Structure 1
């Protein structure tokens, strides 16, 4: 790969979402990411279906769409880390890698002789990133947890969802596993920073990134308001606690998002709606006044927007400099002219013979554009390629390891 990280090799001991999200980002940026999976079972998310990726005949493969969303541009090998020979292979691979990313429970890899201290002894320049639920220390460090748990414990669900007393009111998680995705991005940022430190000093380091830390930090905008005022943030549904009008409205056939971020935009909105006097009304003239008097203003706006279709309002408000938008289902997202123009859909030929479609990486680099060279791999697809090419193992050694069930070699290779 010729991307900006083309000289970086990553040993990926992660599974599910947060860790693989980070390593896919690194792979998209050109790093050689070697994904280590369990023999036979592989990454948990390979089995999180339906839907399944289709083979050449249009039937389902053994791999889920979930797994495929976060594992492209990687090479997959299968090694049993519970066996001494498997641990030896990981140590040998770590010698030749720049980065190792893992999301095992705290202490698990230490029992296998694969902790940061263990691998630092064989590769002092190794950047070793641990992604866990609660972090490497503290009273909860050894507890397991998934994204949903941290959306609750970290406060996000307390401010997400319809207002109490409204239909459907109450705490709500986000449909996307946002804690996992954000933790993966934080891990990527930390890895790039550690690589820069290593470039200057020659030394690696241990990175500690947790889901709980990430989701609490994500709430900073609301939390700092709480620190300043002492008032615990609450749920606002699709409204905004500091901006009015900044929410969705019902139209005659759907919904419309209107987002006025300042007084000038509100003046322009009122002009299009033929309600210029609202902008002069002392209850609504300034943002602070609109926030205090949001209920009568929202009632007036709602009565107007309900009279016409979403398409009517999108056209009517198109050129008034007020941010507006529709609420699209994902089929409509990929019909959006800007999404089409930006080519956000990526199609690749899958190793099983069919096609896998993923979403383009949002990073645009003018000199080293991201390439999509490897589709999400089959489990153990590259075991032979990596162990022979990186460690120099002979075909006989590979056969012996496979016979001892230390490694798995896929029957269908690239």
Structure 2
């Protein structure tokens, strides 16, 4: 990115050394890249980020052949320069130290204490660069009895209470705990880490002081339960699973139409009446058992089956059209092909194509951060393994061709020849 282009971005003055892999850390780094930061992604020679092989599906080239990039990897790594360094070697560790001195932020998600033995922990690097912002992402944080445990999103969703709230009611068919369809603990940790890094950079810019950020998936999972946490803390009663229903509002749930599912969120009595009138069931509007929300909650087991039978009489789109016209909050439950065909999603430019060195182009999802003065930027597609190694070592560390060739031959920045 040219200097004039960097000046038009929010974080064009920031360089990030990204030592993370899989999802939470790369998601944070990708957010920073979208906001204009220069992100250098460091990977192990030969294999790289685990998610490069988490397929199928894989990105395909113009002839329909699979490339080496799994779609999972593509989701969290755009906008970055990719270099390969074996940090288990003394030479590799020295390269990381030199790059850290040229960076504003270091991101890492190694096991607790693992980078200390390489001299790449915060205490070691801040001696070289006192204003460094250093963010560690682990499953359980740097302190506490679980700090040395490996943390996985699925496990943390269970341990952090999310799965106690998610899933169909225990007394209904299929009831029981359910994880989210995406790795929400990882993704939200990436988002919280993004916020923490930008806050630390603001503090540094005001005071000249760097700092250490300790992010944990379990902390984030607990924090993001929001009102469910305070419901429990205020009452002492642990909330339970309600599936797609609402404990306090009826009807506020999903229903199966004749060709798909819809969501109806009738938040008041007037909306409820319009809903059943649209379905030709004026009798349900006038029934004394259902005329107020408290009564509908009381009699939900009687009312909901009647509403379900009513909704099955129309298609998904027929219901959306009639309920929107009546002012009843509603929405479709779309598959991803429907999502990316949705006119609102198209208008908001949430899907884009970027040039790719082996596939020609790659389809990706745009950033949801819409900023008037410093919009998100997409200078690079998710990089090939080690794509920018020589360029970064030459431009930032001023290594010459002979030194780079020697590092590659010894296996420090590439696979050592047999």
CA contact (8 A) 2:269 2:293 kept: yes
Aligned: 1:385 with 2:391: yes
More moved, 215-224 vs 68-77: 215-224
Partner of 2:166: 160
Q: Distance in 2 between matches of 1:207 and 1:263?
A: 48
Q: 1:13 aligns with which of 2, 19, 31?
A: 19
Partner of 2:82: 76
CA contact (8 A) 1:54 1:355 kept: no
* 1:387 shift after superposition: 0.8
Partner of 1:255: 261
Aligned: 1:100 with 2:106: yes
* 1:99 shift after superposition: 0.6
CA contact (8 A) 2:141 2:147 kept: yes
Q: Distance in 2 between matches of 1:260 and 1:209?
A: 39
* Structure 1: runs of 5+ lacking an equivalent: 410-414
CA contact (8 A) 2:168 2:174 kept: yes
Q: Distance in 1 between matches of 2:339 and 2:356?
A: 24
Could you give the per-residue CA deviations for residues 152-194 of structure 1, whole angstroms, max 9, x where no partner exists? 1111112111111322221111120111100000000100111
* Structure 2: runs of 5+ lacking an equivalent: none
Which secondary structure does the structure 1 equivalent of 2:115 belong to?
helix
TM-score (norm 1): 0.95
Could you give the per-residue CA deviations for residues 243-290 of structure 1, whole angstroms, max 9, x where no partner exists? 221101122222221012334433433443455665565644443443
Q: 1:335 aligns with which of 333, 338, 341?
A: 341
Q: Distance in 2 between matches of 1:243 and 1:350?
A: 49
Q: Distance in 2 between matches of 1:233 and 1:219?
A: 11
Could you give the per-residue CA deviations for residues 178-213 of structure 1, whole angstroms, max 9, x where no partner exists? 111000000001001111111111111001111001
CA contact (8 A) 2:67 2:359 kept: no
TM-score (norm 2): 0.94
Aligned: 1:402 with 2:408: yes
* 1:373 shift after superposition: 1.5
The runs of 4+ residues in structure 1 deviating greater than 6 Å are none
Aligned: 1:213 with 2:219: yes
Partner of 1:412: none
Partner of 1:120: 126
Which secondary structure does the structure 2 equivalent of 1:364 belong to?
coil
Q: State how many pairs are aligned.
A: 409
Partner of 2:248: 242
Q: Distance in 2 between matches of 1:307 and 1:273?
A: 8
More moved, 164-173 vs 39-48: 164-173
